[in-house]
Amino acid sequence: MPTQEEVYDVLRTCYDPEIPVNIVDLGLVYDVQVSEQKVDVRMTLTTQGCGMGGVYCFRGGGKNP
């Protein structure tokens, strides 16, 4: 399993499409929990109707530290 910091490093590669800042530095990621079976990321989107939620999930889930 990756470490919490490795997960944050991967999340820092996911950028908001309207702002050239990654989702961690934007403050959208609140918490990362790593267990033996899974990684849980608690985050929010920039707006309530943001259509990027699925993209963020795909990008984060598709990268392995």
Question: Is residue 65's pLDDT more than 50?
Answer: no
* Helical (H) or strand (E) element with 48: none
Rounded to whole angstroms, how far apart are CA atoms 51 and 35? 28
The answer to whether 55 and 15 have CB atoms below 8 angstroms apart is: no
Specify the pTM.
0.71
Q: pLDDT per residue over 9-56, tens digit each?
A: 988 988 877 788 998 999 989 999 999 888 888 887 666 666 555 555
Domains of the chain: 4-61 (3.30.300.130)
Higher pLDDT, 46 or 5: 5
Q: Is the pLDDT of residue 64 over 50?
A: no
